[in-house]
């Protein structure tokens, strides 16, 4: 009984048309983003120069092009021999004023004792007290001058103005520099891609749109492709058009390994269009020609198709069909 039933089921399957057993996909227009491939240039958020605060001779340079620095790191030391001489002169002036102040305080004490015994006048005491006050003020001013010189000596240390990578060091050890001269240029604040698009796309690009960024072209035989691209975000569109180009910025993780100024391919959406598509597993290729099997009233048949770019429709991989199919065709899936 069991064998007879199994035989009947097998015979029914054998007599059933293949189109009844295979799944079908109805070809319908799908709206996809129209993308344009452009080159994006790696830029840094900030390019801050580390400048000399005093003039003098560069005794030591602690960074080179490409060095990573943190904000506040000492990148160079500038020495001005005149500062040491100014400190010596300030110390000598302070010592002289201290000695004068001691003598003036002694004269004031003596005058106050003589005033108690009636041997001098009040005006002499007032004069001695005024002299003490004047020397105290002169001593305070001299100490302030010495503090200024001490601060100038510490300003010979050139600190990194921001955390990032050193782009250039235009000076060498032993160079003579002036106050305000650039010692190094530091790229900080993170990195982004700067795009220059034709102005006809200015009204079509939108902030927040996802973009595809090609991998770093390590070799000519491994160019960047859409399949290997990473996803970034369009974060800024500049309102000014220059030389027929509109500028836009793209943010993406992992640009720290790129060179500043390096270029890579970026696929950016510039509009939408309606396309016909089929699942990727519906296409078979023989002798370089792509075929799709469709179901008709007369039965199944294969048609040659010309395919476009791959894309995803609601998470499912699709292939764009440029010619060979029409809307409403039933594609037989394996």
Each residue's pLDDT tens digit, 212-263: 888 765 444 445 565 567 888 899 999 888 888 999 999 888 776 677 888 8
DSSP symbol at 318: E
66 CB burial (10 A radius; 0-12, 13-18, 19+): exposed
Please give the average per-residue pLDDT across 32-58, as a whole number: 88
Across residues 65-82, what is the average pLDDT?
A: 91
The per-residue pLDDT for 57 is 92
Does residue 284 or residue 4 have the better pLDDT? Answer: 284
Out of 188-197, 221-230, 261-270, pick the least confident: 221-230
Calculate the average pLDDT of the chain. Answer: 84
pLDDT of residue 97: 92
116 pLDDT band, cuts 50/70/90, is: confident
Query: Per-residue pLDDT tens for 279-321?
Result: 989 899 998 899 999 988 888 889 999 998 887 777 788 889 9
Residues of the chain with pLDDT > 70, as a percent, come to 89
| Nearest-angstrom CA–CA distance, 279 and 317 | 6
Mean pLDDT of 60-70: 91
Task: Enter the pTM of the model.
Answer: 0.56
Matching residue, tokens 């690009």: 205
Token pair of 173 as six digits: 């050890």
At residue 280's C-alpha, the angle toward residues 275 and 277, to 5°, is 15
Instruction: Tell me the per-residue pLDDT of 318-334, one tens digit each, with 9 for 90 and over.
Output: 889 999 888 988 999 88
User: CA 215 from chain center: how many Å?
Assistant: 17
Which one, of 42, 46, 43, lies nearest residue 160 by Cα? 46
- pLDDT number for residue 5: 39
Per the model's pLDDT, the better-predicted residue between 316 and 138 turns out to be 138
pLDDT: which is higher, 294 or 8: 294
Q: Is the pLDDT of residue 4 over 60?
A: no
Distance CA 256, CA 75 (A): 21
CA dist., res. 167 & res. 46, Å (int): 11
Q: What's the confidence (pLDDT) of residue 16?
A: 43
Sheet bearing 56-61, strands edge to edge: 157-159, 74-79, 56-61, 176-177
Among residues of the chain, what percentage have pLDDT more than 90? 31
Dist CA 39 CA 25 (whole Å)? 37
Q: Parse the chain into domains and list their residue ranges.
A: 81-154
Q: Does position 139 have pLDDT exceeding 80, yes or no?
A: yes
Q: How far apart are CA 271 and CA 269, in angstroms?
A: 6
In terms of average pLDDT, the best of 51-65, 109-123, 226-240 is 51-65
H helix count then E strand count, the chain? 4, 18
Retrieve residue 169's tokens: 């060091």
* pLDDT confidence of residue 138: 92
Please check whether residue 237 is in contact with residue 207, taking contact to mean a CB–CB distance below 8 angstroms: yes
C-alpha to C-alpha distance for 266 and 212, rounded to whole angstroms: 6
The mean pLDDT of 120-137, rounded to a whole number, is 88
Place of tokens 């899936």: 333
Of the candidate CATH numbers 1.10.287, 3.30.70, 1.10.1220, 1.10.10, the domain formed by 81-154 belongs to 1.10.287
- Measured between alpha carbons, how far is 113 from 110 in angstroms, rounded to an integer? 5
Asked if residues 90 and 145 have their Cβ atoms less than 8 Å apart, the reply is yes
């Amino acid at each position: 009984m069991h064998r007879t039933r199994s035989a009947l089921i097998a015979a029914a399957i054998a007599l059933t048309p293949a189109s009844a057993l295979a799944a079908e996909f109805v070809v319908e227009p799908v709206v996809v983003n129209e993308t344009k491939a452009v080159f994006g240039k790696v830029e840094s958020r900030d390019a801050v120069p580390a400048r000399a605060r005093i003039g003098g001779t560069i005794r030591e340079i602690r960074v080179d092009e490409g060095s990573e620095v943190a904000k506040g790191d000492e990148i160079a030391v500038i020495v001005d021999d005149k500062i040491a001489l100014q400190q010596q002169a300030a110390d000598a002036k302070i010592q002289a004023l201290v000695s004068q102040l001691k003598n003036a305080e002694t004269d004031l004490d003596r005058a106050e004792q003589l005033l108690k015994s009636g041997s001098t006048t009040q005006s002499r005491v007032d004069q001695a007290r005024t002299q003490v006050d004047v020397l105290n003020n002169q001593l305070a001013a001299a100490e302030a001058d010495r503090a200024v010189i001490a601060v100038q000596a510490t300003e010979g240390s050139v600190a990194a103005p921001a955390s990032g990578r050193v782009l250039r060091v235009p000076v060498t050890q032993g160079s003579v520099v002036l106050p305000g001269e650039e010692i190094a240029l530091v790229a900080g604040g993170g990195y982004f891609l700067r795009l220059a698009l034709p102005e006809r796309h200015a009204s079509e690009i939108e902030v927040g749109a996802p973009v595809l960024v090609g991998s770093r072209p390590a070799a000519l035989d491994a160019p960047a492709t859409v399949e290997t691209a990473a996803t970034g975000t369009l974060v800024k569109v500049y309102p000014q058009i220059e030389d027929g180009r509109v500028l836009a910025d793209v943010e993406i993780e992992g640009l720290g390994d790129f060179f500043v100024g390096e270029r890579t391919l970026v696929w950016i959406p510039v509009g939408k269009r309606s396309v016909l598509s089929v699942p990727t597993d519906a296409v078979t290729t023989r002798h370089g020609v792509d075929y799709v099997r469709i179901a008709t009233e007369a039965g199944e048949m294969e048609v040659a198709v010309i395919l476009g770019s791959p894309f995803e429709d609601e998470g499912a991989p699709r292939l764009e069909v440029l010619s060979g199919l029409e809307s409403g065709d039933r594609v037989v899936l394996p």
